[in-house]
Structure 1
Amino acid sequence: MFKTIGICGCGWLGFPLAQQLINSGYTVLGTSRSDSKLKLLSEQRINAHRFTLGEPLPWSDNSPQVLVLNLPPGRRQFDELTFISNMTALIQQAIEQQSKILFVSSTSVYGEVAGEITETQLPLPQTASAQAHVILEQQVLESGQGSVLRLAGLIGPERHPVKQLSGRTLGKGEQKVNLVHLQDVITVIVAIIQQEQWQQLFHLSATGHPSRADFYSWAAVKAGLPPPQFSQEVTLDEGRWINAEASLKKLGVRLQYPSPFDMPIELD
């Protein structure tokens, strides 16, 4: 049974994950670049370490038995080669410290592939970020010490796509949405760690996939926001939909929010 978990990136996902692990009896080492966040982590009984991507891991004598890599590349001035280089060094250090690795990735690696997407679908990354994720996923899986979790679009406290889409004019209203709630992500990550499910590729999405037009129109009304307007042009393009049933079955997890319509809208 693992006792010490490291989380690189205690932000929107990593911080509540750390809290859940602490409450489950684990010792958690967490990183942040912010002094105020380090103080908050310490107040929550998390062993806090200052860390910026590009630096070596901030622990050596007390390496975690599992390292959760949750370091999104960011959207501004993304330097693919630097990100890959820094993350590769991080993965190699974790391997040398004999830590199991859980790499948090994204279903964006499937690019423009349409239709039902299962874990056996080969990625076809289109963006620099997605291409970087595929390279890093391969490194983790080939190490023999890690697993990969590809996440659909995230929803949770202060995070809901309807906030950005409200009032806009949009196309492709018939395409299906692929979303997953923060709490379900945390449940799956804890299950992977507790069950020691290594050298595995998982992906995660709610099992319900309403159309963009139906869901975001409903969510805007629910949130008291101007609904987006969708083009009347019908293309019969349903896009892709992530079928995570195999991952959920392997882990024995039942989603708390199986449909996007079940997910609370928490914008403040």
Structure 2
Amino acid sequence: MTSISVLGCGWLGLPLAKHLVDTGFMVKGSIRSSNKISELEKNHIKPYLLDIDAVEQSWSQFLTSDVLIIAIPSKNIEGFTSLIPIIEASSIKHVLFVSSTSVYEDANRVVTEEDATIPSSALSQIERLFMQSTKFTTTVIRFSGLVGYSRNPGRFFAKSGRSVSNPDVPVNMIHQDDCIGLITQIIKQEKWNEIFNACADTHPSKREFYTQATQRIGVETPTFIESNEQTFKIISNHKIKEALGYEFIHPDVMNITYDS
């Protein structure tokens, strides 16, 4: 049985860990607060109190697994630089690093994995650190804007006065269910040493997307700041769908429903 360690059991990492347990994997999960220990234990996830900002902690037991999933939003280059040798000395064979499509410039066109990333991007630099290791193989998955369940984009505008710039550029979003589905398939199909973009099929404009999102929950539609020069990117999901034979659960972001 493949054992998996999930670094970061937060909005994405916790439901991912639960799903991996249900799928039949042995799962360890890291948290930064002891008040989450019971929730992990009741879901058969072995808890560990760890923090990338405190690499001097003992990581050995947590890293006694086959696969490490890094699902934290940290951009702590120094912390990851210190952690990588610890991973290299462990039993970890494969790393799945959760990154973001924010590493790409706004190129005013469709963007694929072949496109260069922003050199100054901390995430891009961290990706390279992991990909350069010869002690384990790394797959990087770059998610677009994360939505679903409690993460309702309409809520951002519950406080009046918020505005949206560049309202006619396309959005790049992905539902939590598809994040979990894609990660699970990467592990099952052993798609290592890869870089994947992950984004839903549709790309409505900010104006369309946020107008609908606010109307659904009955809050004031945001003010749209018009501009003649609107830069954008459209993230392609072709490679990951082709490589995994994956069909999105939520391909149309305009049809996503939320908990509230």
Report the TM-score when normalising by structure 1.
0.88
Distance change (3 Å), C-alpha of 1:236 and 1:183: same
> May I ask how many residue pairs the two structures share in their alignment?
253
Tell me if structure 1 keeps the 8 A contact 2:209–2:254.
yes
Tell me if structure 2 keeps the 8 A contact 1:207–1:245.
no
Deviation at 1:31, TM superposition (A): 0.7
Q: Secondary structure at the match of 2:102?
A: helix
Alignment of 1:10-29 (within 5 A): 10-29=9-28
**Which sits farther off after the overlay, 253-262 or 94-103?**
94-103
Distance 1:61 1:11 in 2: 17
Deviation at 1:238, TM superposition (A): 5.7
The superposition leaves residues 189-219 of structure 1 with CA deviations (integer Å, 9 ceiling, x where unpaired) of 0011111111100110111000000111011
Q: What is residue 69 of structure 2 aligned with on the other side? A: 68
Tell me if structure 1 keeps the 8 A contact 2:119–2:125.
no
Deviation at 1:67, TM superposition (A): 0.1
The superposition leaves residues 88-123 of structure 1 with CA deviations (integer Å, 9 ceiling, x where unpaired) of 222222222141100100111113333111111111
Distance change (3 Å), C-alpha of 1:139 and 1:169: closer
Distance change (3 Å), C-alpha of 1:143 and 1:62: closer
Tell me if structure 1 keeps the 8 A contact 2:105–2:233.
no
Alignment of 1:50-61 (within 5 A): 50-53=49-52, 54-55=54-55, 56=57, 58-60=59-61
Aligned-residue RMSD, C-alpha: 1.9
Deviation at 1:125, TM superposition (A): 5.3
Q: What is residue 116 of structure 1 aligned with on the other side? A: 110
Tell me if structure 1 keeps the 8 A contact 2:201–2:237.
yes
Distance 1:209 1:238 in 2: 14
Q: What is residue 247 of structure 2 aligned with on the other side? A: 254
The superposition leaves residues 43-86 of structure 1 with CA deviations (integer Å, 9 ceiling, x where unpaired) of 1110111111122453349711000011212xxxxxx6xx1111
Alignment of 1:132-171 (within 5 A): 132-144=122-134, 145-166=137-158, 167=160, 168-171=162-165
Alignment of 1:165-180 (within 5 A): 165-166=157-158, 167=160, 168-180=162-174
Distance 1:59 1:258 in 2: 39
Tell me if structure 1 keeps the 8 A contact 2:170–2:205.
yes
Q: Which amino acid aligns with 2:89?
A: E
Deviation at 1:163, TM superposition (A): 1.5
Deviation at 1:160, TM superposition (A): 2.3
Point out where structure 1 has 5 or more consecutive residues left out of the alignment.
74-79
Report the TM-score when normalising by structure 2.
0.91
Distance 2:189 2:129 in 1: 22
Q: Which amino acid aligns with 2:204?
A: P
Point out where structure 2 has 5 or more consecutive residues left out of the alignment.
none
